[in-house]
């Protein structure tokens, strides 16, 4: 028998395939089905995780209510703050300013003690501004929201407020500021960065809103004024 006795045949289109080829196609289809099922399972698991994250995000967003959640031991309404949902357009300066009003309504004691009102000129004393910022936000952390703790609130009264009251009358302001009116002492007034940001944004917005033709007219007027003798 020679090589010519072995004939290699190729099935014509439409002819039944050999059994081995059919088995191979069947296995390939089963493998594809298994892969598809596995991918579908993974997608379902990821979808479940995404839904859990969305629910968690919704819970966190709901935690910031129109009216802040006050600690049960807080007898008075909390001062408005930029962190409240209805005041999101405000800056931390808004929070501090309202806290100063709250402080002066609650924490002023008898005469001759350190429990005196924060003077109206507080924005003109940089050290006082800096400490009021932390005082306001430590007060909020201790009294407002889910994280509020009675122990933190008492610590604020015992340590933060007492230390602040001492420094306000001995370091940050002049005695005249507390009784008659502002008197410069210590560091000179500074513009806070939030006001700077607001001013920059306002200037940028006004400039962007200015029509190009108006800009050209404005430049022409400046040129004419510069070239025309008085």
Q: Which tens digit of pLDDT belongs to each residue from 109-132?
A: 888 888 899 999 999 999 999 999
Task: Write down the pLDDT at residue 112.
Answer: 84
Give the residue numbers spanning the domain of 142: 85-179
How far is CA 188 from each of CA 131, 157, 172, 173, 185, rounded to the nearest angstrom? Answer: 16, 29, 11, 11, 7
Does residue 193 form part of some domain?
no
In contact, 94 and 87? CB cutoff 8 Å: yes
Does residue 226 form part of some domain?
no
Asked whether the whole model's pTM tops 0.85, one would answer no
Does residue 44 form part of some domain?
no
Task: Write down the pLDDT at residue 67.
Answer: 64
Does residue 76 form part of some domain?
no
The residues with which 70 forms a beta bridge, in sequence order, are: 144
Q: Which tens digit of pLDDT belongs to each residue from 182-213?
A: 989 888 888 888 887 666 555 544 444 444 44
Distance from C-alpha of 7 to C-alpha of 43, rounded to nearest angstrom: 51
DSSP 121: T
Does residue 169 form part of some domain?
yes
Q: Which of 4, 143, 175, 160 is nearest to 78 (CA)?
A: 143
Does residue 223 form part of some domain?
no
Domain count, the chain: 1
Distance from C-alpha of 29 to C-alpha of 24, rounded to nearest angstrom: 9
Does residue 25 form part of some domain?
no
Distance from C-alpha of 225 to C-alpha of 218, rounded to nearest angstrom: 11
Q: Which of 76, 54, 78 is nearest to 65 (CA)?
A: 78
Strands (E), 89-128: none
Q: Which of 164, 187, 151, 172 is nearest to 73 (CA)?
A: 151
Does residue 28 form part of some domain?
no
In contact, 173 and 125? CB cutoff 8 Å: yes
């Amino acid at each position: 028998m020679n090589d010519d006795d072995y004939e290699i045949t190729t099935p014509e289109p439409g002819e039944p395939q050999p059994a081995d080829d059919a088995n191979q196609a069947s296995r390939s289809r089963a493998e594809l089905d298994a892969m598809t099922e596995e991918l579908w399972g993974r997608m379902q698991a990821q979808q479940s995780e995404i839904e859990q994250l969305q629910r968690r995000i919704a819970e966190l967003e709901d935690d910031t209510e129109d009216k802040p959640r006050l600690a049960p031991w807080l007898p008075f309404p909390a001062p408005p703050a930029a962190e409240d949902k209805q005041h999101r357009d405000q800056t931390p300066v808004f929070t501090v300013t309202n806290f100063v009003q709250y402080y002066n309504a609650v924490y002023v004691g008898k005469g001759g003690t350190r429990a005196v009102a924060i003077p109206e000129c507080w924005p003109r004393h940089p050290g006082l501004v800096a400490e009021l910022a932390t005082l306001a936000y430590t007060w909020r952390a201790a009294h407002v929201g889910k994280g509020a703790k009675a122990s933190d609130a008492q610590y604020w009264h015992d340590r933060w407020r007492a230390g602040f009251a001492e420094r306000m009358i001995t370091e940050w302001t002049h005695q005249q500021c507390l009784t008659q009116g502002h008197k410069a002492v210590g560091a000179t007034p500074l513009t806070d960065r939030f006001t700077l940001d607001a001013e920059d944004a306002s200037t940028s917005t006004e400039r962007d809103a200015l029509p190009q033709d108006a800009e050209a007219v404005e430049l022409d007027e400046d040129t004419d004024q510069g070239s025309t003798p008085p």
